[in-house]
Chains A and B, each alone.
Chain A
Amino acid sequence: MKSVEELLDIASKCVRCGTCKSFCPSYEILRREGGGPRGRVTLAETSLKEAGMGGTPFGPAFQKYVKDCTLCGSCHSNCPNDVDVPALILAARTGYIAKQGLSPFASLAIKNLLGSERLRPLSMKIASKLQGLIFKGSTVEHALVSRFSIPLIGGGRLVPNLPERFFMESKTAKARKSGPEQGAAKPKVSFFVGCGVNYFLPDIGEATVRVLERSGATVSIPKAQSCCGMPALSAGDQKTAREHALKNLEVFEKEDCDYIVTSCATCGHALKDVFKDLLCDSGEEDSEMAKRVDAFVAKVRDITELIAPEGDIPVKDIEDNERPLITQDGSKVTYHDPCHLRRYQGIAEEPRILLESSGLELVGMKHPCKCCGLGGGLAFSNYELSIEIARIKAEGVRGSGADIVATACPGCIIQLKDALHRYGVDAMVVHVVELL
């Protein structure tokens, strides 16, 4: 983890010019200094100076200001002095969690549901059975709308229907739970599924396996894999996040694979960038753990990166008669850049090139790389703000005239579906890989 000194060093690079405010999706709506990056940097810096990571001198207003951030990173990537604002915000969140603990609902969700290997599938199963009590059907396929305002969810919100069978329990996953075939000349790919795909959007998992195998890879889906830890980290619970990182490292080290692939931009960012930070203290670059993480990270690819024409396993063209139904009618598709893919992993061209090869017409949308508003836990901590941020995306899609919005992150898909439904835009939302 970054030390307090390193974090203060990051903060000291800020000259308070204010450039970041013009890129911040939450400041645009909140219009209050604490609701923007420059204010948050100032607050985090002061908090770290006075209480380190073990607490904070501030009260609920501080918590609200640092929570109302989607961690989209556009402040950082547009900062002339390279101030890593998200790192400071995560530290600030850790500070207040150390002071007062997670809220009861966040704790239940992060520690018990996503945090526990046994409880997670079980509780999701129960949720799947009971979802009809608090959600009602909607006009959107595989989606429900909350009947009344409930903690962490809000009211009138479109959420994906929890499937009868999670992806990890599907035939596809069960048939591939052992390590990849030994000795075969084919590239061996282990699939990091992630909670979004497993519990909410299993079709993306099916598509990922289908496209990889068609393109000549063998795929394994290790059963013991865990959550990537980002929900816990975003909430300020570094301890739980670290446990997930370690667990996943151990599971995938056992896989004799060439690549570790994910179809979730957030998981990809966690695996590529965050694990190292969580598992190794700074100044320990040469430690045994650092070497293990480096070896792991070297194998990680986003699905669009792996199967792009210039990638390691270029996607094989599909026979026209095998093409997924939605790509057969000459519809228009537009692309939304997930923050965790574009800004954190630098992947922007690959998904677009893949879409152009899908047989659909790719059209541009306004503000393709603006945050959808879901990230950083905002969709649960402040749904009202989160869905207001998403308005610009909905309007962008409307203006593009596209029938399909493709992206590369289950989180963005869930949010965009809700936003299009709420703001009355008629377009479907899918993962790029579902169109290939």
Chain B
Amino acid sequence: MLRDSLKPITTSVQKELQGLLARENLSFLREDILCYSYDATNKIVPPEAVAFPETPEEISAILKLANLRGFPVVARGAGTGFTGGSLPVGGGLILSTERMKKIIEIDTDNLTAEVEPGVITGDLQAAVEKHGLFYPPDPTSFKFSTIGGNIAECAGGPRAVKYGVTRDYVLGLEVVLPTGEIIKTGGKTLKGVVGYDLTRLIVGSEGTLGVVTKAQLKLIAQPETRKMMLVKFAKLEDAARTVTGIIRRCIVPSTLELIDNASLRCVEEFTHMGLGGVEAVLLIEVDGRSESVEKDVLDIEGICKENASTEFRAATDKFEVRDLWKVRRSISPALKRLKSLKLNEDVVVPRSKLVELITGVEQISKERGVIIASFGHAGDGNIHVNIMVDKDDEEDCAKGLQAVEDVFKLTVSLGGTISGEHGVGTTKMPYINMELGAATIEAMKRIKEALDPRGILNPGKIFPAG
């Protein structure tokens, strides 16, 4: 929702902002405006100012001023989201958390970590690993995205099939509300039922209900060992059937990724792994105690063969594992090699419906005459469906948008959701009523209204106008 009452940052407001932050932590320069005008959607939406606060108090003061003067504020971690969550579509101030990058505590007695929002997820993982601990959420961007951004979007990743997503590891938060109050939710305890679960409300709220300034995260023990497998298939459907087969046998891999041929061709130019000619690939990783890992590998190999796999290979060293992950993590950006614009969707279906989703998407691709590259976290039913179009070709774009709608309809009809981990942002805004009923949307809007009466925090996201 974008309110008419929102105001630009005038010269006098600039002066007021200057009173709140150190000189080097606030910029109105065109250079910085440009650098904070995009995210991984590759859309350019310039803000009017960029702030680099260092404390919750500074953020609180900014938000109080924003309420007083009516300018929008948009929190931004690393700017690597896929749905425009950090794009300042209503103008205003970008609030970058890049300077709030402290790992405050790694508590090896309670298996928790307390961090500031600007900590890079991969840095936290490396830091806890030194203590034999494990922070599992692994969005593909984990090496450069931040915990704050991950919390705002409730990011997930390949490991979600076994370990869950960001929300499953957030025990408590410190949040600055849109009106400037600093609140604490949850805490260091594993349990806690006093009052509403505001932690869960904030996680995945896409920066519309508050700005996270500290997070108390749950850690677990590092698995004893891991084993990575690469399995090739002559048909995409066979690969999808294998996924369902593995789940049905109650084997829970730590990663179960499916990659189709269009995706494999794109990364081949970059990774040179000789996978360009393969129709479909499953990347499977199991972890845990050595004995159980060995057994899982054998069982999985059997299930793959039952489903007509053409080649089964277990990685022999860490370099091979690294190369396989490189293939997987390069797909999304490398799809640009197919067509100039990627309509990047991340639908999820119950895992028993995976084959229907995959064959249905292939059908849509044929009917609409557009290229669709599918890959992703098949193990949890989450497939990245990328509809590739030429951004300068109006007809192609129109066909692409129709295909998006077809994919969403199919997903919802299979009992799924139109976004598993990217969020709604601006790109999925027009479609949320395909999944959510009017009363549900109304309830969500009332929560937003209650916490952010003036509508200054990340306006223009999630809910379509009107």
Contacts and interface: CB of A to CB of B under 8 A. Distances in A.
Interface in A37-60: 39, 42-43, 46, 57-59
Contact of B336 (A15, A46, A57): A15
Contacts of A317: none
B200 interface: no
A337 B232 CA distance: 36
Contacts of B118: 31
A59 B31 CA distance: 8
Interface stretch (A17-25, A168-176, A190-198, A404-412): A17-25
A31 B145 contact: no
A7 to B, nearest CB: 17
A34 B29 CA distance: 11
Nearest to A34: B35
Given A17-B40, A18-B40, A39-B35, A31 B270 contact: no
Given A31-B118, A32-B98, A17 B31 contact: no
Nearest to A12: B340
Given A16-B40, A18-B144, A31-B101, A81 B31 contact: no
Given A80-B270, A80-B334, A81-B333, A32 B52 contact: yes
Contacts of B30: 57-58
Contact of A33 (B79, B122, B145, B337): B79
B34 A42 contact: yes
A42 to B, nearest CB: 6
Nearest to B143: A22
Interface string B20-38: 0000000101111011111
Main SS at interface, chain A: loop
Given A18-B145, A80-B267, A80-B333, A33 B80 contact: no
Nearest to A39: B35
Interface residues of B, number: 40
A89 to B, nearest CB: 14
Nearest to A14: B42
A82 interface: yes
Interface string A53-96: 00001110110010000000000000111100000000000000
A13 interface: yes
B120 interface: yes
B463 to A, nearest CB: 25
A61 B270 contact: no
Interface string B38-55: 111110000000001000
Contacts of B36: 33
A61 B99 contact: no
Contacts of A42: 34-35, 37-38
Contact of B141 (A18, A34, A65): A18
A34 B32 contact: yes
Contact of B39 (A16, A43, A58): A16
**Which of A22, A58, A59 is the most central at the interface, judged by chain B CB atoms within 10 Å of its CB?**
A22
A402 to B, nearest CB: 22
Contacts of B270: 80-82
Interface string B248-268: 000000000000000000010
Interface of B: 27, 29-32, 34-42, 52, 78-80, 96, 98-99, 101, 118, 120, 122, 141, 143-145, 267, 269-270, 329-330, 332-334, 336-337, 342
Interface of A: 13-19, 21-22, 31-34, 39, 42-43, 46, 57-59, 61-62, 65, 79-82
14 contacts: A19-B143, A19-B333, A21-B78, A22-B144, A31-B98, A32-B35, A33-B35, A34-B31, A42-B37, A61-B27, A65-B35, A80-B330, A80-B334, A82-B270
Given A32-B32, A32-B96, A34-B31, 19 more contacts: A15-B40, A15-B336, A16-B39, A18-B40, A18-B144, A19-B143, A19-B144, A31-B98, A32-B35, A33-B98, A34-B32, A42-B38, A43-B31, A43-B35, A46-B34, A59-B29, A80-B330, A81-B336, A82-B269
